[in-house]
Amino acid sequence: MKIRPEEITSIIKKQIAGFDAKAEVDEVGEVIQIGDGIARVYGLENVMAMELVQFPGEIYGMTLNLEEDNVGIAVFGDFTKIKEGDIVKRTKRIVEVPVGDALLGRVVNPLGQPLDGKGPIKTDTYAPAEMKAPGVIYRQPVQEPLQTGLMSIDAMIPIGRGQRELIIGDRQTGKTAIAIDTMINQKDSGVICIYVAIGQKGSTVARVVKILEDHGALGHCIIVSSTAEETAPIQYLAPFAGAAMG
Ligand SMILES: Nc1ncnc2c1ncn2[C@@H]1O[C@H](COP(=O)(O)OP(=O)(O)O)[C@@H](O)[C@H]1O
Ligand SMILES: [Mg+2]
């Protein structure tokens, strides 16, 4: 890493200037370095870990490294639009996603922002993207079957509601087909389905949405999409976002 003397002098000068001025605003910081989706920001003294911060131009980021004199922030979105010297604002909110009925039938990114052009998500309820799951003791035991609607699966390997199942196999063997058929078959069962697509092509996700729509099944589904074009921090967030919505 190249050290730029003018950067250091400007920071030292600022520290001297603000030495006895207690009223200095500490809720904004300044980008001192940006690259590879990570911004180093000076001046966010009170920021929390995993807090959502805002860069100019509606670009958001999440604080990851809290170091003594700077914080490392993973940028959600186009980091090339961020420049050294940009102001970063605290939101004082841990990264959270909108939750609730307003999400049904919607396609959103891992931050809960709509991708389907159907307008904003109208909800006041949010849940932190990362939270500790309740321990096994506190969980309700499996009491009800989950019918996939695929007779061979329901007969041979019955699934209980609340259980995890892994569908594994070579490509083009029908894994996605099983998942989508199961989602469509939940139309009258009251089960809400959340489909999290990570690193897939936008066209593939659009095809899934179209199939669900054509079968009248989108209304009980939420699609969380983080396509291959998104940055790594967003993709990392996708499963957490889906779980939080659930
Ligand atoms: N039971 C099935 N019978 C016939 N064709 C199927 C069946 N299940 C899936 N397919 C077809 O196989 C292809 C691959 O399915 P897909 O679910 O996309 O595979 P994967 O997700 O495992 O890569 C699709 O064209 C799909 O329509
Ligand atoms: Mg597939």
| Residue 89 Cβ < 6 Å to ligand 1 | no
CATH of residue 30's domain is 2.40.30.20
pTM (predicted TM-score): 0.78
| Residue 177 Cβ < 6 Å to ligand 1 | yes
Which ligand is nearest to the Cα of residue 174, counting in written order?
1
Domain end point (choices 93, 108, 134): 93
**Residue-wise pLDDT tens digits, 83-131:** 999 999 998 888 989 999 999 999 999 989 999 999 999 999 999 988 8
| Residue 80 Cβ < 6 Å to ligand 1 | no
Give the mutation target among 166, 176, 215 for probing the ligand 1 site: most ligand atoms within 8 A of CB. 176
CATH of residue 126's domain is 3.40.50.300
Mean pLDDT, range 136-154, rounded to an integer:
92
Cβ-in-10-Å burial (0-12, 13-18, 19+) of 232 comes to: middle
Cβ-in-10-Å burial (0-12, 13-18, 19+) of 1 comes to: exposed
Cβ atoms of residues 50 and 130 within 8 Å: yes
Range of the domain at 89: 5-93
Cβ atoms of residues 71 and 41 within 8 Å: yes
Phi/psi-derived region of residue 209, left when phi > 0, alpha when psi is between -120 and 50, beta in every other case = alpha
Q: Across the chain, what does the average pLDDT equal?
A: 90
Alpha helices in 76-135 (DSSP H): none
The residue nearest atom 3 of ligand 1, judged by CA position, is 174
The confidence score (pLDDT) of residue 228 equals 81
| Residue 174 Cβ < 6 Å to ligand 1 | yes
Which ligand is nearest to the Cα of residue 195, counting in written order?
2
The confidence score (pLDDT) of residue 36 equals 85
Domain end point (choices 68, 93, 118): 93
